Structure 1
Amino acid sequence: MAATPLEDLIAKAIKDADKSFFNEDYAKQARAVMAALKKAGYEVAPVRPPEGLVEWAKDNIPFGRLRPAELITQMYSMMVENVRRFDR
C-alpha cells in the first residue's frame, strides 16, 4: 500500500532531522515532524477537547449572520488553533 501524503511528510521530516547513524536524537526528530506538520497546515490535537476549550469557544463564537457551514468552519478552525492553550 502506498504511503499517504501525511505519512510522506512525516517520513521526510524524520529523515531530514537527524543524519547521524548512532545515538539518534528522537526529540529532535519529533520537533522536526511537529514543525513540518504545522508548516503544512496541520495541528496535532486531542480527539476530545481539553477542559476549558469548549467554554472558551462558547464565549468566542463568531457573531453575525453566518451560514451553518461558515459557522462550523470558523468554530473548527478557532478551536484547533487554540487547543494548545488548554492542552496542558
Structure 2
Amino acid sequence: MTSIVETIAQSIKRADRTLFNENYVKQAEAVVEGLRRAGYEVVPLRPPEPLVEYAVENIPFGRLRPSDLIRTLYTTMVSNCRRFTG
C-alpha cells in the first residue's frame, strides 16, 4: 500500500507542469501535517488486520450505549491507525 504522503506527492507532481523538479514529498508531508493540525487524520478505507485486532483488545466491554460504542471504536481506530499503516 502506498503511504498517504507518497500519494499526495505523486498527485502534486502530476499536477505540476513546471520545468523544475520540486520536493513533492516535503510538500505532501506539509499537507498531511496541516490536516493533522486541523484535527484530521488520513486513514485507509479498510483497516489493516493488526489494527482491527488492536481495537478488539482495547474497546471497553460492558454496557455502552450504541452511540458511545461507535464513538469509542472510531476514536480508537483512527487515533491508532498510523501505528499499523506507517
TM-score (norm 1): 0.68
Please state if 1:48 is matched with 2:68. Answer: no
- Bigger shift: 62-71 or 27-36? 62-71
Equivalent residues, number: 69
Structure 1 spans left out of the alignment, 5+ residues: 1-13, 15-20
Q: Which residue of 2 aligns with 1:77?
A: 75
Q: CA deviation at 1:64?
A: 4.5
Q: Distance in 1 between matches of 2:48 and 2:37?
A: 23
More helix by share: 2
Structure 2: which 5+ residue stretches go unaligned? Answer: 1-11, 13-18
Higher relative contact order (CA 8 A, sep 6+): 2
- Range with greater deviation from structure 2 (54-63 or 31-40): 54-63
**1:55 CA drift (Å):** 1.1
Aligned-residue offset at 1:49? 0.4
Secondary structure of 2:52's aligned partner: helix
1:39 to 2:37 alignment = yes
CA distance in 2, matches of 1:60, 1:84: 16
Provide the C-alpha distance between the structure 1 equivalents of 2:65 and 2:83, rounded to a whole number of angstroms: 28
Identity of aligned residues (%): 62
* Secondary structure of 2:49 counterpart: coil
Q: How does 1:3-82 map to 2 (within 5 A)?
A: 22-82=20-80
TM-score of the aligned structures, taking structure 2 as reference length = 0.70
Rounded Cα–Cα distance in structure 2 between residues aligned with 1:71 and 1:51: 20
Calculate the aligned-residue CA RMSD, in Å. 2.0
